[in-house]
Structure 1
Amino acid sequence: MPEEEYKLRELSADELRVHTSTEELRFEDTSQLPGLSDTMVGQDRAVQALAFGLSIDAEGYNIFVVGPPGTGRTTYTASQVFEVARSKPVPNDWCYVYNFQAPDEPICLQFPPGQGVRFRSAMQRLVKDLEKALTQYFDSDAYAAESTQLMNQFNERAEKVWSLLEASAHELGLVLQRTATGMVTIPLDAEGRPIPSDEFAQLSNTARAAVRTRQQQLEQSFEEAMRQIKSIQKEASTAEEMLEEKTCAYAIEPLFDELRLQFQGEDVARYLQRVKEDVIANHALFHGDPEPTTPDAALLGAVPPDPRIRYQVNVMVDHTDSAGAPVIIEPNPTYFNLFGKVEYRGNRGVMVSDYTLIKPGALHRANGGYLIVQAIDLLSHPAAWTALKRALKNGEIRIDNPQEENMWMVSTGLRPQEIQLKVKVILIGTPDIYHLLYEYDDAMQKHFKVKVEFDAEMERSAAASRQYANFVASYTKAHELPPFTAGAVAEIIDFSARLAGNQRKLSTRFHPVIELVTEASYLAQQAGANTVTEQHVNSALSAKVHRADLIKEKVLEMILNGTIRVDTDGKRIGQINGLAVLASGNVSFGQPHRITARTYVGRRGVINVERETAMSGQIHDKGVLILSAYLAAEFGKRMPMAVSGTIVFEQTYSKIDGDSASSTELYALLSSLSELPILQGIAVTGSVDQFGEIQPIGGVNEKIEGYFYICKAKGLTGRQGVMIPRQNVTNLFLPEEVVDAVRNGQFHIWAVQSVEEGIELLTGFTALSVYVEIETNVVEMSRAAAYERRRV
């Protein structure tokens, strides 16, 4: 291959990275910059979508914020939601009160903001005022006189009935006498004196029979009189109760009139009317000595220890000090944290509850406003996600116990009345979570119609670099850090481009950038510098890598001492250096792998040893099948190929996946088929399609750096380098050390577009020569195989 063509495919040092010029930044240090405004850096699409989602007030237009971590999605979303919420009206307060008709189903009342607490205080005062007013009225002389007069009337009626009964007895010659066992009738003599029992026994039978007849007549009159007296007593009791209720109603009516004027609303008026009726029916609770609660009733929870607890108000949501709509960020969205719960307390060894133990959830507090939840946290609690969808669908908050479905016996408890729900839910998650939910959960399309997508990168321009500089200025001022020089900011922008993996892009993942700013500031402060320079930034980058590259050093050590064999010089047939990326925490590094191929007569085709041993992933298997198709199409058109080959990742004991080594494996096979050696100083990466076109791969910078440091450790010869796909040139952002080595001719980077270009670089022969050799060998092997079949 001509030397000129060889060099045409080699990249210059200027193509290996892009430097940010300090001249385009136009400042000395970040203290001269105003900092960022409220605009999000590089996220115009997300800004517009979020503004739309927060402004539209329609059913189902909840928001799903999508983006990779570190893009500022959560911080920006929360800040915008708080800003919008300040201009919204404050929602109503919500309270739970006792249900006098169904005690196990508490009812909810809503009040204008701040009135929920005032209503609770008013009900507490009402209980005290009721006790004072009823005690005063029932202990008054007027009530005592009226009660005595009423009782005297019924006593007179009873005495009159008794007098008539005594008169009737006298007419019958009998007298009524009370005994310990009841009432007895005694006969009288002619002078009206009671006849003793011994004299009565001496009377004739006829006389005694006549007396018994009169006694029977009197007993009938006595029974009738007793019925009348009992009826009078019952009327007296009813009249006394009516007097008590009348007195109670008269005493408490002004108190309830005051509450009705203070707290408007049909539901409140209906509740106060039921409270009034219950107070009248149970006025003894407020004066005198009410009957004590029985222990059994308290244990069963049927009657609370203090019966007057049913007049308390449980304020679920209070907006007394609120300004604007509420914004709730729920960090742990379990079912109970979202929807509230009914708590229990111990009572003599038994767990009991009442409506005052109903506790609110995040949805209660966010009702009328906004709820922000991380999607991954919500989905880790399936019951919470299911209940949230149901709440959005029905527009109400219900407090249930999701564990009841899995219990064979359910304990009785409260069923609080549902609360109307009007809330905008903002879920924040990664693209994977969003697409998974959108595909498998119909509720996503119905309830989360606004997608706010944060991009991980933005176009690199002078304006974008200026925005980055203002971001650094804002962060350093907010955290009282030293200002950054223009050179330091330029290094940070270059670091961002490296994160984006594209020379024409900048990363919008600001977490790594913030870490770099923080660590560089620390080094500058430790050195006593007033500003952070590019040296501090580079030192922070080097220190960060060094803290996490122990595994990288161990791998390099094994390669250098020969434990892992990697040849960086010479030539070998059927052997080539492929490149892979290994990750250790937040550090990724490239590692070369020795890939070998052997070919021989046979009909099995290309055998992937990793696949045969279940160590190959699906994508890697696909790459091997594609290169097999390329070989068959190139060299098996005139006659079937009777050639088999094996491909092995030598000294690899973990699973292999990805197709970035498919072109590398193809070169090894081509070398084995042509029997032409491959330069071992060149490492290769890139996938291949069925037409032999080289396709881009990921991790190109890490792969080049990994091979460079191994070649440097073994000794740079000037013949070593890496061959990459042409499409990956824009992804190059190599360290200055690698760039300098390329500039000095110690290391090389080649970019190729096809297998033909690659095999020429690797073998030093033209692709035509290599393919002629392969075709010749394939034909001979196929003829040998055909002859052997005929002979057999």
Structure 2
Amino acid sequence: MEKALTPGQLYHRCDLGQFGFQDTSQIDGLERAVGQERALDAIDFGVGMEHSGYNLYVMGSTGLGRHTMVYEALRRQAEAETAQSDWCYVSNFTDPNMPGALRLPAGTGRELSRDMRALVEGLIKDIPAALHSEEYRRRTKEINSRYKEMEQGAASKLSERAHERGIAVIDTVTGYTLAPEVDGKVLGSEEFHELPEEEQERLGGIMEEVKEDLKETMKQVPRWQQEVRKEFKALDREFAGRTVDILITELMEKYEALPAVVDYLEAVKQDIVENVEPFSRSEGKDGKTVSVDDPAFGDYRVNVLVDNAETDGAPIVYEDNPTYQNLMGRIEHLAHMGTLLTNFTLIKAGALHYANGGYLVLDAEKVLTNPFAWDGLKRVLNAEEIRIESLERQLSLVSTISLEPEPIAIDLKVILIGDRYLYYLLKEYDPEFSKLFKVEADFSEDMAREDGNDYRYAQLMASLRERENLRHFDVQAVGRMIEYSARRSGDGERLSLHMGNLVDLMQEADYCAARSGHNLIQIEDVDAAIQGRVYRADQLRERLHKEVLRGTLLIDTAGSQLAQINALSVIQLGEQMFGVPTRVSATARYGAGEVVDIEREVEQGGSLHSKGVLILSAYLGWRYAKYQPLSLSASLVFEQTYGGVDGDSASAAELCALLSALSDVPIRQSLAITGAINQHGEVQTIGGVCQKIEGFFDICKGRGLNGDQGVIIPHSNVKDLMLRRDVIEAVEAGSFAVYAVRHVEEAMELLTGLPAGAPDERGRFPAETLNGRVQRRLAEWTLLHQRLAGQPEEEPEME
């Protein structure tokens, strides 16, 4: 008979003797995260690799501290790098729909913007002053005089020719008019009509000829006016050019080390000289005094897209909402009189712009669930440039003219943080993913309790305590936190690395210490925090257990029953996981070797559960029917389950119930069992072993512990045990027991009190052993099968 586990095997205690401190104030924190060396080395490799495509995918479950550790690793690298460039968009005077991009040293962008604003302010003052100078007025007067002389000279010549022919050319306010002239006297209308008819006709003909001559002369006036306007414009350019030269030359000298800026300033100079009119006005179109903010001067502004003046080292950007526009940038519009207008000053940067030259951290799931964001990100990484385009244009939803800003070259590392399943899905189904994200950093879920890791875990607690500004933990509280971490990992020999849960528990323990008036966080504060967590989420477990104690859910904890056993299952609800016993029953009769899984038949059982039933069927054939038909028909069912059933951790219980039915040997109801089996009957590891034991213990405790109750678990799960204190105390008192078995026959010996039995050289088991009873029953059914089939009855061969 298998011996019960000792109390020392039920809980892997933390040895406080390995610690040389009384509380966490006496130890130093960690500079590097414990247990994540593999992932951190991968991050260092990916960050340091300068070739393209070595972006990172950081994977692991939520709560491991991935964001924090990634940020710390990036910060160390970024601090050693030089400050990155500013990026600006400026007007393209040749093609206004294609703004130009300027790459400038950090801090230069805002300086250039201020200088351009000051330039416009200076020109607003200086150009009007130049255009009202004495020299300008004198030159203007000369142009006007020359034009007047030309006009008067032409009119004078025309008047002389007309006078010789008896026609007077009269200059009026509204222009030139013609009148007949006789003996130097201009005739009025009445006088003209008093002339002989022949004279009137002669003078009228001459007036028509003179009128045509006047028209030809007047045709030259628009050309002269155009020439005058050209001269005035040239004069304005000349005087404005002098002013612009003075101010822009100073800027060119300031930025002479930046050829792109010098070229831009040269273009600005040419455009101002060609379009000096807005600078010459004293009032804008709105009637207000002209200022630098007037829309007419918008082309001379500098749109500082990325300003790294305050950035030390390389930028680290985390985009919490990675929509397409938040990543790529956008072009905004202004509504004006029912029309949407835009210009290069309305171009806005995205996270890729801000992270250029540094690091961009994104949550993989958020990028993938935002429409077009993933494709846009891949396009940027492939092209190594950011091209700002609206989604409407990409989808051909609009055909209006819009801006096409010059693309900006990028050099950055993208770090995606996500779950493992997303990584492998992308690896399998996105051919570009492996090309762009060549480095995976896989965060560990736990670490072994060896090589001083308990002490390093205490150092980790000291670091987190300082970061969260909590009370110090005394050494016993540290030990209790380490033990709780081992329980969360599901392995008494390992420690959970879920930093989120650890920090939460530390904060809750600090709260309990404050309520208790403790200066240090003590072990009772940690216990109170743990119990508080359980209590807040324990309502469903309590109700299920009460239904068992009330007899609504049928679970026996005393006596013996044929083909009926207590299996153990575990329920996970959020952070809360608890065990619940479930009755499994079996029936066996003569048949054709079929074991019916009722859960599967009604589509209530999952694939893993069905697999477990098929395995136990294979075990029956291997153990008892190597040389004879397996002439049975059996059924298995979980009693009183109304939802899905999955997992193979009940297959040992199902096999035991079926063996009880075959052997007609009742099973002790004071014991519960959990474990998976293989085809040879070996009991295999299962999950949630602590919760399963405690679930059955709570039922037994509710009915009264009698020393006969206990739980059977796989021997390979002993290392995982971190049971509650009340369970351990019950084991110490001999009122409850935990058994560990390696084979299902060991479990049957505990459950029935009968020896399993070993076969002799002919494969026969002793008659009064458990296996002998099963063998005899199967032999009887084989003979029955032969009788019903009309075959000669022969004693079946035994193993």
TM over 0.5: yes
| Contact 1:284–1:290 (Cα < 8 Å) also in 2 | no
The alignment yields a C-alpha RMSD, in angstroms, of 2.6
Q: Which residue of 1 aligns with 2:764?
A: none
Q: CA deviation at 1:351?
A: 4.3
Q: CA deviation at 1:219?
A: 3.5
Which of 2, 16, 23 aligns to 1:29? It is 23
Q: Which residue of 2 aligns with 1:422?
A: 411
Which of 331, 355, 368 aligns to 2:357? It is 368
Q: Which residue of 2 aligns with 1:688?
A: 677
Q: CA deviation at 1:477?
A: 4.1
| Contact 1:94–1:108 (Cα < 8 Å) also in 2 | yes
Task: Tell me the alpha carbon deviations over residues 506-549 of structure 1, each in whole angstroms, 9 at most, x when there is no partner.
Answer: 22223333333333333333323333332332233223222221
Which of 256, 259, 268 aligns to 2:248? It is 256
Pairing 1:132–2:121 present? no
Does the C-alpha gap of structure 1 residues 730 and 122 become closer, same or farther in structure 2, counting only changes over 3 Å?
A: same
Task: Tell me the alpha carbon deviations over residues 145-179 of structure 1, each in whole angstroms, 9 at most, x when there is no partner.
Answer: 01111221222222222221112112223222357
Pairing 1:11–2:35 present? no
Which is further off, 420-429 or 535-544?
Answer: 535-544
Which of 71, 77, 84 aligns to 1:91? It is 84
Give the Cα separation in 2 of the matches to 1:682 and 1:394: 66
Give the Cα separation in 2 of the matches to 1:52 and 1:196: 105
Give the Cα separation in 2 of the matches to 1:377 and 1:91: 27
Q: CA deviation at 1:222?
A: 2.4
| Contact 1:293–1:305 (Cα < 8 Å) also in 2 | no
Give the Cα separation in 1 of the matches to 2:197 and 2:771: 153
Give the Cα separation in 2 of the matches to 1:512 and 1:200: 116
2:581 alignment partner, SS class: strand
2:360 alignment partner, SS class: strand
Pairing 1:246–2:238 present? yes
Pairing 1:676–2:665 present? yes
Give the Cα separation in 1 of the matches to 2:670 and 2:271: 96
Give the Cα separation in 2 of the matches to 1:69 and 1:188: 108
Letter in 1 for 2:354: R
2:362 alignment partner, SS class: strand
Q: Which residue of 1 aligns with 2:760?
A: none
Pairing 1:170–2:163 present? yes
Q: Which residue of 2 aligns with 1:152?
A: 145
Q: CA deviation at 1:696?
A: 1.1
Q: Which residue of 1 aligns with 2:50?
A: 57
Letter in 2 for 1:130: L
2:222 alignment partner, SS class: helix
Give the Cα separation in 1 of the matches to 2:469 and 2:284: 69
1:767 alignment partner, SS class: coil
Which is further off, 136-145 or 231-240?
Answer: 231-240
Q: CA deviation at 1:120?
A: 0.9
Q: Which residue of 2 aligns with 1:123?
A: 116
Task: Tell me the alpha carbon deviations over residues 706-757 of structure 1, each in whole angstroms, 9 at most, x when there is no partner.
Answer: 1112112222232222121222121112223222333333222222222333
Give the Cα separation in 1 of the matches to 2:284 and 2:124: 16
Q: CA deviation at 1:305?
A: 7.3
Give the Cα separation in 2 of the matches to 1:244 and 1:134: 9
| Contact 1:570–1:680 (Cα < 8 Å) also in 2 | yes
Q: Which residue of 2 aligns with 1:298?
A: none
Q: Which residue of 2 aligns with 1:556?
A: 545
Q: Which residue of 2 aligns with 1:39?
A: 32
Pairing 1:573–2:555 present? no
Give the Cα separation in 1 of the matches to 2:489 and 2:221: 101
Q: Which residue of 1 aligns with 2:179?
A: 186
Letter in 2 for 1:23: G
Q: CA deviation at 1:195?
A: 4.6
Which of 656, 667, 673 aligns to 1:667? It is 656
Does the C-alpha gap of structure 1 residues 196 and 77 become closer, same or farther in structure 2, counting only changes over 3 Å?
A: closer
Which of 488, 495, 503 aligns to 2:492? It is 503
Give the Cα separation in 1 of the matches to 2:177 and 2:722: 122
Give the Cα separation in 2 of the matches to 1:182 and 1:377: 77
Q: Which residue of 1 aligns with 2:795?
A: none
Q: Which residue of 2 aligns with 1:20?
A: 14
Could you tell me which runs of 5 or more consecutive residues in structure 2 were left unpaired when the two chains were aligned.
288-292, 758-768, 792-799
Task: Tell me the alpha carbon deviations over residues 434-488 of structure 1, each in whole angstroms, 9 at most, x when there is no partner.
Answer: 2222222233311222222221111212521211222233333444443322222
Task: Tell me the alpha carbon deviations over residues 190-242 of structure 1, each in whole angstroms, 9 at most, x when there is no partner.
Answer: x3333555565565665455444534443443233223343333222222221
Pairing 1:494–2:483 present? yes
| Contact 2:593–2:629 (Cα < 8 Å) also in 1 | no
| Contact 1:17–1:503 (Cα < 8 Å) also in 2 | yes
Q: Which residue of 2 aligns with 1:729?
A: 718
Q: Which residue of 1 aligns with 2:617?
A: 628
Write the mapping of 1:90-109 to structure 2, written as runs, cut at 5 A.
Answer: 90-109=83-102
Q: Which residue of 2 aligns with 1:781?
A: 781
Q: Which residue of 1 aligns with 2:66?
A: 73
| Contact 1:551–1:584 (Cα < 8 Å) also in 2 | no
| Contact 1:161–1:228 (Cα < 8 Å) also in 2 | no
Pairing 1:322–2:311 present? yes
Q: Which residue of 2 aligns with 1:48?
A: 41
Q: CA deviation at 1:406?
A: 6.0
Which is further off, 344-353 or 748-757?
Answer: 344-353
Does the C-alpha gap of structure 1 residues 645 and 478 become closer, same or farther in structure 2, counting only changes over 3 Å?
A: same
Write the mapping of 1:516-665 to structure 2, written as runs, cut at 5 A.
Answer: 516-603=505-592, 605-665=594-654
Give the Cα separation in 2 of the matches to 1:207 and 1:478: 116
Which is further off, 713-722 or 551-560?
Answer: 713-722
Letter in 2 for 1:153: R
Give the Cα separation in 2 of the matches to 1:167 and 1:781: 147
| Contact 1:161–1:229 (Cα < 8 Å) also in 2 | no
Task: Tell me the alpha carbon deviations over residues 385-438 of structure 1, each in whole angstroms, 9 at most, x when there is no partner.
Answer: 221111111112222333556685566543333222111112222222222222
Does the C-alpha gap of structure 1 residues 517 and 714 become closer, same or farther in structure 2, counting only changes over 3 Å?
A: same
Give the Cα separation in 1 of the matches to 2:202 and 2:511: 125
1:59 alignment partner, SS class: coil
TM-score by length of 1: 0.92
Letter in 2 for 1:414: L
Give the Cα separation in 2 of the matches to 1:229 and 1:531: 101
| Contact 1:572–1:677 (Cα < 8 Å) also in 2 | yes
| Contact 2:2–2:750 (Cα < 8 Å) also in 1 | no
Which of 103, 106, 111 aligns to 1:113? It is 106
Give the Cα separation in 1 of the matches to 2:363 and 2:418: 6
Which of 236, 247, 268 aligns to 1:275? It is 268
Could you tell me which runs of 5 or more consecutive residues in structure 1 were left unpaired when the two chains were aligned.
1-5, 295-303
Give the Cα separation in 2 of the matches to 1:88 and 1:337: 26
Task: Tell me the alpha carbon deviations over residues 636-675 of structure 1, each in whole angstroms, 9 at most, x when there is no partner.
Answer: 4434334222111101111001111112112211211222
1:751 alignment partner, SS class: strand
Give the Cα separation in 2 of the matches to 1:77 and 1:196: 102
Give the Cα separation in 2 of the matches to 1:730 and 1:774: 33
Letter in 2 for 1:675: D
Q: Which residue of 1 aligns with 2:290?
A: none
Q: CA deviation at 1:703?
A: 0.7
Give the Cα separation in 1 of the matches to 2:222 and 2:320: 70
Does the C-alpha gap of structure 1 residues 131 and 714 become closer, same or farther in structure 2, counting only changes over 3 Å?
A: same
Does the C-alpha gap of structure 1 residues 115 and 594 become closer, same or farther in structure 2, counting only changes over 3 Å?
A: same
Q: Which residue of 2 aligns with 1:3?
A: none
Letter in 1 for 2:717: N
1:647 alignment partner, SS class: strand
Equivalent residues, number: 774
Which of 440, 455, 463 aligns to 1:474? It is 463
Percent identity, aligned pairs only, is 37
Give the Cα separation in 2 of the matches to 1:145 and 1:182: 27
1:7 alignment partner, SS class: coil
